[in-house]
Amino acid sequence: MPLKISRTILFGDCDPGGVVYTPRIGHFVVEAGLDFLSYVLEGPAARRIFAMGVLPPARALSIEFLHPMSWDERIDIEVSVEEIRTHAFSLRVVACNAGGTATFHASLTQVCVSPETRRPVPLPGELRAALERELGG
């Protein structure tokens, strides 16, 4: 089941023409991913993951822009597990405006690395289990 997050586009998110700056969408995706991880881990995502002994840097971010968004517009962002791998996981992010029109789709992949070696390590069991519950498997 995806987690749904609602947000209102702020004036500061937009260019002088009133349309969302492209880099802000990346910020929306990362924030939504952290909210999702906080939800599945039942606590603050960064603190919970760091306590598992790993760092979770982004390995890939892909965004497809589908419809412009402007300030004061409310969007619903749905986040779900896209894929779970040995060292990494991917989240699927889909945003729609109040009329139900898709505004962007994104995929965010995070890899687990050792804080000491900065090399990939397997997903901690607790993180894998939480993601698998959401994936339905």
CATH number at residue 80: 3.10.129.10
Full residue range of the structural domain in which residue 57 is found: 3-135
Task: Fill in the amino acid letter for 92.
Answer: R
Collect all residues with Cβ–Cβ distance below 8 Å to 110 and sequence separation of at least 6: 33, 56, 57, 58, 59, 88, 89, 90, 91
pLDDT category, 95, cuts 50, 70, 90?
very high
Mean pLDDT of the chain: 96
pLDDT category, 135, cuts 50, 70, 90?
confident
Residue 132 to residues 6, 92, 104, 126, Cα–Cα distance (Å): 24, 14, 25, 10
Q: Is a pLDDT exceeding 60 seen at residue 137?
A: no
Q: Structurally, how many domains does the chain consist of?
A: 1
Q: For residues 39 and 136, give the distance between their C-alpha atoms in angstroms, rounded to a whole number.
A: 15
Q: What is the DSSP code (8-state) at residue 112?
A: -
